[in-house]
Amino acid sequence: MTRGEVFLLLSVPCFAEVIWYRQPSVAKLRSSPGIWHVRKGDAVATIFTKIIDREIPADIVYEDDHALAFRDINPQAPVHVLIIPKQEIASLNEITAENQAVMAHLFSVVRQVAAQLELTGGYRTVINCGADGGQTVDHIHIHLLGGRELSWPPG
């Protein structure tokens, strides 16, 4: 065996170990959704996945097997609730014939939450899509806004 072959034999496991050591854990990747995007199923895990998994707290107002509704951390109206599917769907652009029932369910949750929170005078729903639409969390969500008269058009 030549000296070069001996060097290769000894150094490859070392490099492999360094590369393995430098891999961040999946938990760490998922805790930094703005920097790292980890695929779970079809979509990207975001801060909303952590709320679903109870890894971070949220003021949850409704939950069933397929959806969760919680108050927005930065409310734009007296009532500002986000309604999300438990399935990770990044945005409206990922709604297909296969998963469109999710949207029907989310809107039925909107109606239930609006009744539960006594938005008897009416309310507004908003779905931001993509950067120009103002979407900041890549997990589809319906904003439910109410509790005051809302102006139009939005900014």
- Residue 54 binds ligand 5GP, judged by CB under 6 A: no
Query: Amino acid identity, residue 23?
Result: Q
The two three-digit tokens of residue 98, written as one number: 């296969």
Which residue matches tokens 């949220």?
58
Among 45, 58, 67, 84, contact with ligand 5GP (rule: CB under 6 A): 58
Choice among 80, 105, 141, 143 that is catalytic: 141
Q: If binding is defined by CB under 6 A, does position 78 make contact with ligand 5GP?
A: no
Contact 102, 87 (CB under 8 A): yes
Candidates 1-9, 12-20, 101-109, 130-138; binding stretch for ligand 5GP (CB under 6 A): 130-138
Q: What's the closest the beta carbon of residue 50 comes to ligand 5GP, in angstroms?
A: 8
134 binds ligand 5GP (CB under 6 A): yes
Q: Tokens 């500002």 map to which residue?
A: 80
User: Should residue 94 be labelled a site residue for ligand 5GP when binding is judged by CB under 6 A?
Assistant: no
Query: Which residue in the set 7, 32, 136, 148 belongs to the binding site for ligand 5GP (CB under 6 A)?
Result: 136
Is 141 considered catalytic here?
A: yes
Residue corresponding to tokens 């709320």: 51
Peptide bond into 153 cis (omega under 30): yes
For residue 41, the Cα-to-chain-centroid distance in whole angstroms is 13
Distance CA 27, CA 81 (A): 27
For position 73 contacting ligand 5GP by CB under 6 A, the verdict is yes
Query: Which range binds ligand 5GP by CB under 6 A, 9-17, 21-29, 66-74, 104-112?
Result: 66-74
Residue type, position 50, single letter? K
CA angle centred on 52, ends 133 and 43, rounded to 5°: 50
- Residues at the interface with ligand 5GP (CB under 6 A): 47, 58, 70, 72-74, 82, 128, 134-137
